[in-house]
């Protein structure tokens, strides 16, 4: 199986990272093919064996299937009554099963060379830690997650030593691998102010009481404006999911409910896949391990404070499909005293403050990518003003701010440490390499920022893109989107222009 360019880059970055770090995190959005990436890593590290940890049956079955299709390696399952053999090159195991001491100690601590934690935002829990403590002293550990914000990554930094690769949702939308997302705000004021918090998120029972009075109105909205959409609806309770499916059927929509106890769950989802059913309701069953690329509308009637959960919900509709030009995300007007309710903007925002700005740009009906670009344009203008005021920079060299603006990567300018080592001072070797690329190392605040800058510069080189110095010159000549020019294109253009200038023709 041929990897997409970003998948190949991820495999290479993770492999390079394991030369220095034993525990790494890979951050990629839902639908990016994370399973394919760790399947290829399993193949790379043969004959050392690989253990893949997951917490749901659907994820385990999906991993077994994709590992074999991607690599030809036959993975065996360690879960419940299924017992994997010690000869298996890849074991895909249920965390719940390996929590049991007898099943865990069936494997020597050094049996696996690579341990992969799927959906690793769950990793801080005691169940995962009990399993990992048995294996991680003798193995490389890779966590893969779609977690979208700094807060989640900081919590994972208590375990992981490095973020080996990070690909954003908008990166893959721009590259055509994921669907653009359009947000439509539904102006029903659903009141959450009396809903309690349990274990860090809204209490499902309280949510049921708060949302119940609005179900008929919501069904009316969908029947009136979105009945042609292929829609997946998430609700907090099974009884509510069943009722909402009934309300939609009463309004002429081919709707069905599915839950973990449904005897015909497979047939129900098959009818949905074949368009016999146009709307499926569920009570948080289909958040992980469910792929149906033709879904073009997601309705989240299960508000949450947990970004990773919200990312999983929306991710069910972000895959591309013939005839699908965007995913429609219905966003309800939730009335809440709290400011940490997750909204669509949190899918692409680096912070709550940025999410607020993106939400304001979206308004009642807007495109996530366009809103993000508008917010970044505002941010770029402010950074350019800062750059103009900077009189300390040495002539001919880049500071971090100018480099970020030059190659259009604002994350380089305002680096926020997440891993423990990020805040260490810039190393002498880093300073030497930075100087080689025309950087003023004194303007780089820490080891983590230096590492990110060098990663971007080396990545541009591997991709055959223009160097930062070339990009700066191209901008001076008015070259359109110079940060996207290849090294050869930049060289030819600058040779022509600078040659003409020397000849007095410019």
Q: Cα–Cα distance between 60 and 62 in angstroms, integer? A: 5
Residue 439 clears pLDDT 90, i.e. is over it: no
Strands 162-166 and 297-300: unpaired
Question: Would you state the pLDDT for residue 391?
Answer: 54
Report yes or no: 367 and 345 within 8 Å, Cβ to Cβ.
no
Question: Would you state the pLDDT for residue 224?
Answer: 96
* Structure token digits, residue 424: 């260490």
**Cα–Cα distances in angstroms (integers) from residue 264 to residues 57, 232, 236, 348, 451, in the given order:** 17, 18, 21, 36, 51
Report yes or no: 24 and 18 within 8 Å, Cβ to Cβ.
yes
Question: Would you state the pLDDT for residue 506?
Answer: 37
CA-based angle 141:67:49, to the nearest 5? 45
Question: Would you state the pLDDT for residue 157?
Answer: 83
Q: Cα–Cα distance between 476 and 388 in angstroms, integer? A: 15
Give the domains, in start order, of the chain with CATH numbers: 5-167 (3.40.50.300), 181-375 (3.40.50.300), 382-502 (no CATH)
Check the CA dihedral 357-359-364-369 and report its sign.
positive
Q: Cα–Cα distance between 166 and 415 in angstroms, integer? A: 14
Q: Cα–Cα distance between 497 and 197 in angstroms, integer? A: 63
Report yes or no: 33 and 171 within 8 Å, Cβ to Cβ.
no
pLDDT in tens, 334-350: 877 666 789 999 999 88
pLDDT in tens, 279-305: 999 998 998 888 899 999 999 999 999
* Cross-sheet strand order for the sheet of 279-282: 255-258, 279-282, 231-234, 297-300, 327-335, 181-191, 365-367
The helix/strand/coil state of 258 is strand
Mean pLDDT, residues 394-398 taken together = 70
pLDDT band at 501 (very low <50, low <70, confident <90, very high): low
* Structure token digits, residue 292: 């149906």
The helix/strand/coil state of 483 is helix
DSSP code for 160: -
pLDDT in tens, 218-260: 999 999 999 999 999 999 999 999 999 999 999 999 999 999 8
Of 128 and 502, more confident: 128
The helix/strand/coil state of 440 is coil
Place of tokens 């809903």: 195
Instruction: Name residues whose C-beta falls within 8 Å of residue 414's C-beta, 6 or more positions apart in sequence.
Output: none
Place of tokens 């080891």: 447
Question: Would you state the pLDDT for residue 333?
Answer: 78
Which of 140-155 are b and which e, b meaning 16 or more Cβ less than 10 Å from the residue's Cβ? bbbbbbbbbbbebbee
Question: Would you state the pLDDT for residue 505?
Answer: 44
pLDDT in tens, 44-86: 999 999 999 998 888 899 899 999 999 999 999 999 999 999 9
Q: Cα–Cα distance between 400 and 396 in angstroms, integer? A: 13
Question: Would you state the pLDDT for residue 380?
Answer: 86
Highest mean pLDDT among 183-197, 223-237, 399-413: 223-237
Question: Would you state the pLDDT for residue 392?
Answer: 55
Report yes or no: 428 and 470 within 8 Å, Cβ to Cβ.
no
Among 164, 137, 118, smallest CA distance to 18 is for 164
Mean pLDDT, residues 10-33 taken together = 94
Of 205 and 350, more confident: 205
């Amino acid at each position: 199986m041929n990897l997409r360019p970003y998948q190949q880059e991820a495999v290479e970055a993770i492999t390079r990272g394991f030369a220095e770090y034993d525990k790494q995190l890979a951050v990629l959005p839902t639908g990016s093919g994370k399973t394919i990436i760790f399947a290829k890593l399993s193949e790379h590290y043969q004959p050392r064996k690989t253990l893949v940890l997951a917490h749901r049956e659907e994820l385990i079955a999906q991993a077994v299937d994709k590992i074999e299709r991607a690599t030809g390696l036959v993975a065996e399952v360690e879960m419940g009554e299924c017992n994997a053999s010690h000869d298996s090159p890849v074991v895909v195991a249920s965390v719940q099963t390996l929590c049991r001491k007898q099943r865990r100690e069936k494997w020597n601590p050094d049996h696996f060379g690579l341990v992969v934690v799927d959906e690793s935002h769950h990793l801080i829990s005691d169940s995962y830690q009990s399993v990992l403590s048995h294996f991680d002293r003798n193995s490389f550990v890779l966590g893969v997650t779609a977690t979208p914000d700094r807060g989640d990554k900081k919590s994972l930094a208590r375990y992981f030593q490095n973020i080996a690769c990070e690909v954003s949702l908008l990166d893959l939308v721009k590259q055509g691998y994921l669907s653009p997302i359009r947000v439509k705000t539904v102006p029903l004021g659903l009141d959450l102010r009396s809903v309690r918090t349990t274990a860090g998120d809204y209490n499902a029972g309280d949510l049921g009481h708060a949302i119940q009075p609005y179900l008929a109105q919501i069904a009316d909205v969908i029947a009136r404006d979105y009945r042609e959409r292929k829609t997946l609806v998430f609700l907090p309770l099974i009884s509510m999911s069943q009722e909402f499916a009934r309300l939609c059927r009463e309004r002429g929509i081919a709707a069905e409910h599915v839950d973990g106890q449904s005897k015909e769950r497979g047939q129900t989802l098959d009818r949905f896949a074949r368009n016999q059913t146009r709307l499926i309701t569920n009570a948080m069953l289909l958040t992980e391990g469910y792929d149906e690329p033709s879904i073009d509308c997601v309705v989240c009637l299960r508000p949450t404070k947990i970004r990773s959960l919200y990312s999983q919900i929306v991710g069910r509709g972000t895959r591309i499909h013939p005839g699908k030009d965007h995913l429609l995300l219905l966003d309800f007007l939730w009335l809440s005293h709290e400011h940490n309710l997750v909204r669509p903007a949190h899918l692409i925002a680096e912070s709550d403050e940025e999410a607020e700005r993106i939400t304001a740009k979206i308004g009642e009906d807007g495109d996530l990518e366009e809103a993000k670009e508008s917010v970044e344009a505002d941010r770029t203008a402010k950074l350019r003003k800062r750059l103009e005021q900077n009189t300390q920079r040495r002539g001919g060299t880049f500071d971090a701010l100018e480099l970020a603006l030059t190659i259009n990567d604002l994350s380089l300018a305002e680096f926020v440490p997440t891993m423990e080592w990020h805040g260490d001072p810039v190393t002498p070797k880093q300073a030497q390499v930075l100087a080689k690329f025309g950087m003023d190392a004194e303007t780089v605040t820490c080891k983590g920022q230096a590492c990110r800058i060098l990663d971007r510069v080396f990545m541009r080189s591997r991709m055959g893109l223009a160097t930062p110095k070339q990009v700066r010159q191209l901008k001076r000549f008015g070259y359109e989107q110079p940060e996207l020019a290849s090294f050869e294109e930049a060289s030819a253009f600058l040779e022509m222009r600078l040659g003409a200038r020397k000849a007095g023709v410019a």
